[in-house]
Amino acid sequence: MKNGVEQTRRAETSRNSVEVKGRALALGFDAVGIATLEPNSHAAELDQWLDAGYAGTMTYLHRQAAKRKDPARIMPGARVAVVTLTNYYHASARPGLAPGVSPALGRVAQYAWSADYHRVLGRRLERLATAIRETVPGAKTRCYVDAGPVPERELAQRAGLGWIGKNMMLIDPDRGSFTFIGVVLTDAGLAPDPPFEADRCGSCRACLDACPTSAFAAPGVLDARRCISYLTIEHAAEFSAAERPLVGEWLFGCDVCQDVCPWNVKFARPTGDAELGVRPEIAEPDLAALLDGEPEAFQRRFGDTPFERPGVAGMRRNAAAVLANRDRPQP
């Protein structure tokens, strides 16, 4: 009798998992998997990374460390994480500073070419959370999009969606690394997927060698203090004389380590997501307008975009640095 009950429970769990994954794909996510919430196998590495000062001014990572190392602590009662990937690659629509493009325009990482992904995916994840509660009545859920103490990449790897490359990006073998990771924590009884065990980077060092600021202290170890994305987004203070040249021509973020990754070169395909369409005013922003515009105008134009994170002061600092770097004599 006991074996029969257990078999019935497992069959129901399996059916629920298939239903939830189907609902996720129908909502527009490109891939979905289910991860367990046991303590993070990279916990010691996180401690070493923080102790080395590689987090720079991101002090919130120190406060979040305990939950990042043990994700079951994030939501009381949570049993699994439903992890989603959303492709944001734009490929042939790529703006930037290719030959012929006006030097008055700034260079922006692809993930920021559209409306703020936190809002787009946040709404989508809430709909997925509703689907989980409909599939498993009484279930509790909590959604996260690149926020809070969630170790997204580790959970995605644990959910079978890819492996973590030498540049610390999750690499999906079918899509590359130009993807947003979304997570729904839940106490629903869902069957976890087998983790992605293989490391398919092999001996490749393309991402490490291409980094314009040598921000990787070692494979899988990023010194954020030298990372262009950190400097232009997370770093709040004015740039020092040493930091300003590191930014180069990047106004917001950086894609260099992803652009050279062979998995992206071969497998990344343009997104067809209507909610992630390119907006020219943020894909190719006018540097002079950023410097001269009023704060209210900035908020009206960019308040629903990733530019809101550094805000008007941070974006003006970035624009001034890009212009100064272009004016510097080349060695």
What is the predicted pLDDT for the residue at 8?
80
Domain enclosing residue 212, as ranges: 1-331
Q: Which two tokens stand for residue 274?
A: 């209507």
Backbone angles phi, psi at 127, to 5 degrees: -65, -35
Q: Quick one: which of 255, 254, 252 has its CA closest to 265?
A: 255
Q: Is the pLDDT of residue 133 over 50?
A: yes
What are the strands, taking DSSP E only, across the chain?
A: 31-36, 80-87, 107-108, 141-145, 163-164, 170-171, 179-186, 216-218, 221-222, 250-252
The Cα 143–Cα 122 span in angstroms is 7
Q: Which two tokens stand for residue 134?
A: 């409909």
pTM of the complete model beyond 0.75: yes
Residues 6+ apart with CB under 8 A from 205: 166, 219
Q: Quote the number of domains for the chain.
A: 1
The catalytic residue positions are 146
What is the predicted pLDDT for the residue at 103?
67
Mean pLDDT of 184-210: 98
Quick count: other Cβ atoms within 10 Å of Cβ 93? 14
What is the predicted pLDDT for the residue at 331?
55
The Cα 316–Cα 312 span in angstroms is 6
Tens of pLDDT, residue by residue over 73-127, are 999 999 999 999 999 999 754 444 444 446 688 999 999 999 999 999 999 999 9
Mean pLDDT of 176-198: 98
What is the predicted pLDDT for the residue at 159?
98
What is the predicted pLDDT for the residue at 98?
47
The Cα 78–Cα 41 span in angstroms is 18
